[in-house]
Structure formats: structure tokens, C-alpha cells
């Protein structure tokens, strides 16, 4: 299967929150309408993914965005990703985590090693200083290894693996990567659920950015 076709399928998992969640409108389809949409767009025959794919109204909203006004972002990040694909896949294999985690770097930075967020998260995988150091990245006045795509990929793989070990679910692991482990722990406790989609229905438990991060 070609890299491009695989990426098309995996877009059903992830949404680029940093492009602006606010202009992706909430879909309000019935289950029957969702099933019709999936048949019309051949979403029942997606490429096999390492992380289970869920199709629901919020995922469909992001599919519509990336086929419409967000297509320019999609094309730019896809073109840039080729530089890092083989290296990152090798590290993900070595760390024994799903290869699909490659696309977290796309969500976080569009594969831009110089990216910096409003929260001062830096690099391809958008580590904040404390988390980067926790996972072995040197961050000081001389060196910032968060910008080292190879070292940061290994750190991100280990961080995501730890999140999955704790929460037992990749969607919750992704939410923890975006929002922090503590916030997800509190959301689980307050909701009484370990299902991301159930938790995400309550706007008080997770920020809008995190609720859109998975779809």
C-alpha cells in the first residue's frame, strides 16, 4: 500500500488542532446518515491501521475540513513528512509502539523542527521543557534537543508508550500527550469512564483542543 493511501486512511484518526479547531463545524448526523456517509466515501474499506479507527460525527467533521478549506495544510505537511518518515518509523519499531504514532508529529508541528507553541512547546513533537527533560532530552542555554527530530522521536515514543501503559487505550494516551496525564486522570475519575468519546462529550472535563485532538 502506498504511503499516500495509508495517510488518507489515517486522517480518520487524527485532526490537526494547531490549524484551528474553531472553524471545524460540529456535524449532526444520525447513525443511519453516518453509515450512508461511510459508504459514499468508501470509509468501510480504509487501509489497515495499527490504532483502531472510529468514525463518528466529529471525525467526519475533520474529514470534511481536510477535503475542503484545510486541504492546503494537508498537502504541505504530507510533502514535508517524507524527510522524516523512514527514520521515525525505524524508531517506533525499535520502541515497539504503533507506526501510526508517526502522525502525532504531523498534528503537533507539521513536521517542523523549529515549531514553537504558545505554551513554549518546541520541536517536531512539541515537548515542553519539563517533559522533554523527563524523557532524556537536553534542554539548556546551549542545546535544545527537542529540535533534534531523531532524539525527540525516541522520547515521544517512550512518553506515548507510558501513557498507553497507564490508561490502557491509545485515544486516552493521545489526549494525555496533548493535555497532560493529570488532566486525563481527573477526567477519568470525574466521568467514571475510560472511553475517550464518552469523556469528550462533557466540555468541562477536557479543553476543546484536546476534544478535537483525537478525531
List the catalytic residues.
Answer: 108
Find, among 81, 76, 80, 73, the residue nearest to 19 by Cα. 73
Residue 76 has a CB neighbour count (10 Å cut-off) of: 13
- Pick from 79, 7, 8, 69: nearest CA to 41: 8
Amino acid at each position: 500500500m502506498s504511503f499516500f493511501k495509508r495517510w488518507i486512511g489515517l486522517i480518520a484518526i487524527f485532526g490537526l488542532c494547531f490549524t484551528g479547531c474553531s472553524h471545524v463545524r460540529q456535524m449532526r448526523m444520525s447513525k443511519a446518515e453516518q453509515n450512508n456517509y461511510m459508504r459514499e466515501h468508501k470509509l468501510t474499506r480504509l487501509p489497515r491501521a495499527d490504532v483502531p479507527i472510529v468514525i463518528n460525527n466529529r471525525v467526519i467533521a475533520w474529514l470534511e475540513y481536510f477535503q475542503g478549506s484545510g486541504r492546503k495544510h494537508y498537502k504541505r505537511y504530507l510533502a514535508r513528512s517524507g524527510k522524516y518518515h523512514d527514520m521515525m518509523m525505524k524508531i517506533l519499531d525499535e520502541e515497539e509502539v504503533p507506526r501510526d504514532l508517526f502522525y502525532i508529529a504531523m498534528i503537533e508541528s507539521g513536521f517542523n523542527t523549529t515549531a514553537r507553541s504558545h505554551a513554549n512547546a518546541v520541536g517536531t513533537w512539541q515537548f515542553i521543557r519539563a517533559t522533554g527533560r523527563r524523557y532524556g532530552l537536553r534542554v539548556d542555554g546551549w542545546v535544545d534537543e527537542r529540535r533534534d527530530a531523531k532524539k525527540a522521536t525516541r522520547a515521544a515514543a517512550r512518553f506515548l508508550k507510558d501513557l498507553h501503559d497507564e490508561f490502557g487505550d491509545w485515544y486516552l494516551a493521545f489526549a494525555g500527550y496533548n493535555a497532560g496525564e493529570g488532566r486525563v486522570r481527573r477526567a477519568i475519575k470525574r466521568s467514571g469512564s475510560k472511553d475517550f468519546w464518552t469523556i469528550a462529550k462533557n466540555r468541562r472535563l477536557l479543553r476543546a483542543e484536546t476534544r478535537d485532538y483525537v478525531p
